[in-house]
Amino acid sequence: MTGTVAQEPQSAANGRPGRPLILTEDAVLLDDLLRLCAAAGATPEVRPRLPDQGGGWEAAPLVLVGDDAAHRVRGAARRRGVVLVGRDQDDPEVWQRAVRIGADHVLMLPDGEQWLVDRIADVVEGVGRPALTVGVIGGRGGAGASTLACALAVTAARHGTRTLLVDADPLGGGLDVLLGGESTEGLRWPAFAASRGRVGGGALEESLPRLHALRVLSWDRGDCVAVPPQAVRAVLAAARRRGGAVVVDLPRRLDEGVAEVLAQLDLAVLVVTGDLRAVAAAGRVASVVGMVVRDLRVAVRGPYAPGLDEREVARLLRLPLAGEVPVEPGLLRPRGTPKAPAASGRGPLSRFCAGFWEQALVESGGAR
């Protein structure tokens, strides 16, 4: 429910989101609202009535007005982000009070607690445009999907984009190994197996290993090879809320956890090698992924069988061509430890990835 709006909440002076404002003299209701703010990671400003001169009212990104304080808010400048909070589910006049103060929402506790925690957390994180989320999947084993996923993530981070690389294949050996950071401190997937509801985007980012200017969510070398789908959903949603770019290395099998990832992708890239058997295998993968992901493209890697090139492979698969993925020599150092793909910023693989992001960002409406 929306009232007449005269202005938007002002930004905090330091450019960060301000604190939520709570207006109530109901001690029990205040305890509940403080508890929900704590669950969302927010420290609110608490007032019994409208602040003098309206400064806090105008600047707060979210205002929670207790039903007991609604009459003290009448006459305040109309603005977005006002929630009238009460407990009496049977009160027929609560909607009238909400209209009088221009509230966007009427919320009754305890039923609306989860919604309110999510809304407060959005304010704390300064949620804006979600990350451009790209999945990379191999048409068959050994196609080079993991290498391309790492190269795309490294390239995005090198260009100053907040980037998170997600390893969705528990049997792939760990993308942290491919990036040379298996001993880097930080959480891996098993630590999030018990996640439910909302995961804080900032807390997630800070908890993960930092490699090559990006954050990496990988698997460890333990016995855990599965995370509940609801945990996958919560973690990936948290990653996307931070904006920038999220790159997901996908397995070729489809289970409930992978389905949760596919549902949050903006686009997917199917990596195919240039031989007929690989094209046939990729066709089966494409038929499954394409049922969930609306924007599925093919990236082709040589060498090619006679009669094939990247355009012919795309034609056979009936998919848009993302381009030809060049092979980058020297991904192993002399002692056999891996170098991050595209880490140098030079060479054909780096140029391919930079071109991919440039096109994807233009098609998605610009930088995030």
DSSP at 46: E
pLDDT at 150: 96
Q: Which of 139-143, 286-290, 332-336 has the lowest mean pLDDT?
A: 332-336
How far apart (Å, rounded) are the C-alpha atoms in residues 338 and 330? 9
pLDDT at 17: 57
How far apart (Å, rounded) are the C-alpha atoms in residues 209 and 232? 18
Architecture of domain 21-125: 3-Layer(aba) Sandwich (3.40)
Give the N- to C-terminal CA distance of the chain in Å, as an integer.
29
- Record: fold of 132-364: Rossmann fold (3.40.50)
For the chain, give every residue range classified as CATH 3.40.50.2300.
21-125
Sheet containing 45-47, strands listed edge to edge, beginning at the edge strand earlier in sequence: 45-47, 21-23, 63-66, 82-86, 105-108
Q: Is beta strand 132-138 parallel, antiparallel or unpaired with respect to 214-217?
A: unpaired
CB of 148 closer than 8 Å to CB of 326:
no
Mean pLDDT, the chain, as a whole number? 88
Kindly tell me if the per-residue pLDDT of 1 is higher than 80.
Answer: no
How far apart (Å, rounded) are the C-alpha atoms in residues 227 and 324? 34
How far apart (Å, rounded) are the C-alpha atoms in residues 339 and 102? 57
Q: How many CB atoms lie within 10 A of CB 17?
A: 19
pLDDT digits (tens, 9 = 90+) for 63-85: 999 999 999 998 888 899 999 99
pLDDT digits (tens, 9 = 90+) for 219-257: 998 888 889 999 999 899 889 988 899 999 999 988 999
pLDDT digits (tens, 9 = 90+) for 83-138: 999 998 889 899 999 999 999 999 999 999 988 988 888 887 766 688 999 999 99
For the chain, give every residue range classified as CATH 3.40.50.300.
132-364
How far apart (Å, rounded) are the C-alpha atoms in residues 322 and 213? 25
Kindly tell me if the per-residue pLDDT of 336 is higher than 80.
Answer: no
How far apart (Å, rounded) are the C-alpha atoms in residues 359 and 351? 12
pLDDT at 4: 35
Kindly tell me if the per-residue pLDDT of 53 is higher than 60.
Answer: no
pLDDT at 367: 59
pLDDT at 199: 82
Q: Estimate the share of the chain in helix, then strand, then coil, as percent rounded to the nearest 5.
A: 35, 20, 45
pLDDT at 203: 84
Kindly tell me if the per-residue pLDDT of 15 is higher than 60.
Answer: no
Residue 286 burial (CB < 10 Å; 0-12/13-18/19+)? Answer: buried
Residue 183 burial (CB < 10 Å; 0-12/13-18/19+)? Answer: exposed
How far apart (Å, rounded) are the C-alpha atoms in residues 335 and 141? 25
pLDDT digits (tens, 9 = 90+) for 55-64: 578 889 999 9
Q: Encoding tokens for residue 83?
A: 């929630």
pLDDT digits (tens, 9 = 90+) for 264-311: 999 999 999 999 999 999 999 999 999 999 899 999 999 999 999 999
Global pTM?
0.75
Average pLDDT estimate for 321-333? 76
Instruction: Name the residue among 148, 157, 231, 153 with its Cα closest to residue 187.
Output: 231
Kindly tell me if the per-residue pLDDT of 196 is higher than 90.
Answer: no
Helix axes of 310-317 and 276-289: crossing angle, nearest 10 degrees: 40
pLDDT at 331: 53
For the four alpha carbons of 238, 241, 246 and 251, in that order, the dihedral sign comes to: positive
Place of tokens 């991919």: 356
CB of 360 closer than 8 Å to CB of 267:
yes
